[in-house]
Amino acid sequence: MEKKRAIFLDKDGTLVDSSMYPNPPGSKLLHNDIINGLRYAQEKGFELFIVSNQSWISKGKLTQEEVIETFESVIAQLKTHDIKITDYLFCPHKNDDYCHCKKPRPGMILELAKKHDIDLANSFIVGDFDEDIEAGKNAGVKTILTLTNTQTHYTNKPDFIIKNLNEIWRVL
Ligand SMILES: [Mg+2]
Ligand SMILES: [Zn+2]
């Protein structure tokens, strides 16, 4: 059977308004910026995943339960728009935990790809931060930067730059 293509989505600042860090349960989707784009990607046959750094957990700002609740809320909101998130992972660690999963490390992408039989070379990461782009490069997927935050200095050149997820039709 042919391997599946996937889009690995960053959560905070890409799917969800990140102006209220740390994003608590009930965080607002960037509705007008994402729904059409995600639908388009899904119709093109891409499986959708979320990969998110949540060092708030190891820093004591959010509990694991609160983070899971936020993910479930995001997934439920997307589902009301017929958008299906196949699976997600988050990294609870901070830098000096030296885990394999915290972006820019590729651990979360590689784990999901293995579990769901994903063709990495024909898949994408979408994120609003340098670390997302670097994680994508480290995992061997194509990289898309969204201009949905205020970070202006990038050390990793993304393959594509889009204003927000709704512009993903330009890339896929
Ligand atoms: Mg982000
Ligand atoms: Zn980690």
Give the pLDDT score at 28: 81
In Å, how far from its chain's centre is CA 13?
9
pLDDT tens, residue by residue, 10-45? 999 999 987 766 666 667 888 889 999 999 999 999
H helix runs in the chain, sequence order: 31-43, 64-79, 107-116, 130-139
> What pLDDT was estimated at residue 25?
65
Dist CA 105 CA 111 (whole Å): 12
What confidence tens digit (pLDDT) does each residue in 106-136 have?
999 999 999 999 999 999 999 999 999 999 9
pLDDT above 80 for 154: no
Distance 108 CA to ligand 2 centre (A): 8
Question: Tell me, what's the pLDDT at 118?
Answer: 98
Backbone Cα Rg of the chain: 15
Per DSSP, the three-state class of 20 is coil
pLDDT for 112:
98
What totals of helices (H) and strands (E) does the chain contain, helices first? 4, 6
pLDDT band at 67 (very low <50, low <70, confident <90, very high): very high
Report which bound ligand comes closest to the CA of 104: 2
How many C-beta neighbours within 10 Å does residue 158 have? Answer: 21
The overall average pLDDT reported for the chain is 92
- The rounded Å distance from CA 14 to ligand 1 centre is 6
In the sheet where 47-53 sits, what is the strand order? 85-91, 47-53, 6-9, 124-127, 142-146, 160-162
Share of the chain above pLDDT 70, in %: 93
Residues with CB under 5 A from ligand 2 (ion): 91, 93, 99, 101-102
Domains and CATH numbers, the chain: 6-170 (3.40.50.1000)
Mean pLDDT of 42-55: 97
Q: Is the pLDDT of residue 170 over 80?
A: yes
Which ligand lies nearest the alpha carbon of 150? 1
pLDDT for position 142: 98
Place of tokens 């609160």: 66
Q: Give the number of the ligand closest to the Cα of residue 16.
A: 1
Distance (Å) from CA 29 to ligand 1 centroid: 13
What ligand is nearest to the CA atom of residue 57? Answer: 2
Q: Tell how far the Cα of 35 is from the centroid of ligand 1, in angstroms.
A: 17
Ligand 2 centre and the CA of 82: distance in Å? 30
Distance from Cα 146 to the centre of ligand 1, integer Å: 9
